[in-house]
Structure 1
Amino acid sequence: MCSMSDDYAEDDQKVKFEMIPDKFHSLKDVSDAIKNVGVKECSLIFGIDYTMSNQMQGKKTYDGLSLHDIQPSRSNPYQEGDCDGFMEVLKQYTDVTPTIKLGGPTNFAPIIRQAVDIVKEKRQYHILVIVADGQVTNEEETIKAIVEASEFPLSIVVIGVGDGPWDMMKDFDDNLPERKFDNFQFVGFHQAKQGVRNPDVAVALAALMEIPDQYMCIKKLRLMEKLL
Structure 2
Amino acid sequence: MGSCVSDLNGGRQAVGGVRHSASPGPTPPPVHNDAVDFFYRSQGFQLLFTPLETLNLKDQDFLGMASCTLSEIVTKQSRRLTLRLQKKIGHDGRRNLGTLTIHAEETFNSRTSVEISFRCSRLDNKDVFSKSDPFLRISKLVEGGGSVPICKTEAINNDLNPIWKPVCLGFQQFGSKDNPLLIECFDFNSSGDHVLIGKMQKSVADLEKLYKERTGENFVAPSNHRTHEKVLKGQLYVDRYLEKEQFSFIDYISSGFELNFMVAVDFTASNGDPRRPDSLHCISSPGQFNAYQKAIMEVGEVIQFYDSNRRFPAWGFGGRTDDGTISHCFNLDGNSGASEVEGVEGIMAAYARSLHNVTLAGPTLFGPVINMAAQIAARSLSRNSSKYYVLLIITDGVVTDLQETIDALVKASDLPLSVLIVGVGAADFTSMEVLDADNGRRLESSSGRIATRDIVQFVPMREVQSGEISVVQALLEELPQQFLTFMRSRDIQPINHLAPLPRASTSQ
TM-score (structure 1 length as normaliser)? 0.75
- Is this contact kept in 2: 1:159–1:188, CA < 8 A? yes
Tell me the CA shift for residue 23 of structure 1. Answer: 4.2
Q: Which moved further from structure 2: 214-223 or 166-175?
A: 214-223
Cα deviation per residue 1:3-62 (whole Å; 9 max; x = unaligned)? 9xxxxxxxxxxxxxx998654859xx67x9973362431101111011122229xxxxxx
Assess, with a 3 A threshold, how the Cα gap between structure 1 residues 104 and 213 changes in structure 2: closer, same or farther. same
Q: 1:80 aligned to 2:294? A: yes
Q: Which residue of 1 aligns with 2:366?
A: 108
- Across the aligned residues of Structure 1 and Structure 2, the Cα RMSD in angstroms comes to 3.2
Residue 184 of structure 1 pairs with residue 184 of structure 2: no
Of 74, 93, 110, 2:351 maps to 93
- Amino acid of the residue matched to residue 368 of structure 2? P
2: distance between equivalents of 1:143 and 1:169? 11
Q: Hey, what does 2:423 align to over in structure 1?
A: 160
Q: What is the CA-CA distance between 1:65 and the residue it aligns to?
A: 1.5
For structure 1, the 5+ residue unaligned runs are 4-17, 57-62
Deviation at 1:89, TM superposition (A): 1.1
Give CA-to-partner distance per residue, 1:142-192, whole Å, 9 cap, x none. Answer: 111111110111000001111121112211102425211011000111211
* Compared CA separation, residues 55 and 116, structure 1 to 2 (3 A): same
- Which of the two has greater helix per residue? 1
* Counterpart Cα distance in 2 of 1:122 and 1:133: 31
Letter in 2 for 1:72: S
* TM-aligned CA deviation for residue 113 of structure 1: 0.5
Paired residues in the alignment total 197
Name the structure, 1 or 2, with higher relative contact order (CA <8 Å, separation 6+). Answer: 1
What letter is aligned with 1:157? Answer: L
Please give the alpha-carbon distance, in whole angstroms, between the structure 2 residues aligned to 1:111 and 1:23: 32
Q: Deviations over 1:195-227 (max 9, x none)?
A: 43xx6xx111111111111112102321979xx
Q: CA 1:210/1:102 → structure 2, altered by over 3 Å: closer, same or farther?
A: same
Change over 3 Å in CA distance of 1:69–1:119 after alignment to 2: same
Q: Does 1:42 align with 2:252?
A: no
Q: Classify the secondary structure of the residue corresponding to 2:263.
A: strand
**Contact 2:262 2:392 (8 Å CA) reproduced:** yes
% of aligned pairs identical? Answer: 30
Per the alignment, do residues 25 and 213 of structure 1 end up closer, same or farther by CA in structure 2, a change over 3 Å counting? Answer: farther
Within the candidate set 467, 481, 484, 1:213 is matched to: 481
Cα distance in 2, alignment partners of residues 25 and 35 from structure 1: 22
How far apart are the structure 2 equivalents of 1:145 and 1:223?
Answer: 24
4+ runs of 1 displaced by more than 3 Å? 18-26, 32-37
Contact residue 270 and residue 397 of structure 2 kept, 8 A: no
Question: 1:134 & 1:224 partners in 2: Cα distance?
Answer: 37
Contact 2:249 2:484 in 1 (8 A): no
| Match of residue 241 from structure 2 | none
Residue 69 to residue 19, structure 1, CA distance change in 2 (3 Å): farther
Task: Quote the offset at 1:76 in angstroms.
Answer: 1.5
The code of the aligned residue for 1:207 comes to: L
Q: 260, 267, 270: which one pairs with 1:53?
A: 270
Query: Does the Cα contact within 8 Å between 1:68 and 1:76 map onto a contact in 2?
Result: yes
Q: Look up the match of 1:141.
A: 404
Change (3 A) 1:20 1:44: farther
Query: Which residue of the partner structure matches residue 70 of structure 1?
Result: 283
Give distance in 2, aligned partners of 1:171 and 1:46. Answer: 21
2:451 counterpart SS class: coil
Name the CA shift for 1:109/1:216 in 2 (closer, same or farther; >3 Å): same
The aligned amino acid for 2:371 is R
Q: Which of 194, 207, 217 is matched with 2:466 structurally?
A: 194
More strand by share: 2
Alignment partner, residue 6 of structure 1: none
Change beyond 3 A, Cα 1:130–1:168: same
TM-score, structure 2 normalization: 0.35
Residue 117 (structure 1) aligned with residue 375 (structure 2): yes
SS in 2 for 1:42: strand
Deviates more, 1:40-49 or 1:171-180: 171-180
AA matched with 2:372 = Q
Indicate the residue corresponding to 2:414 in structure 1: 151
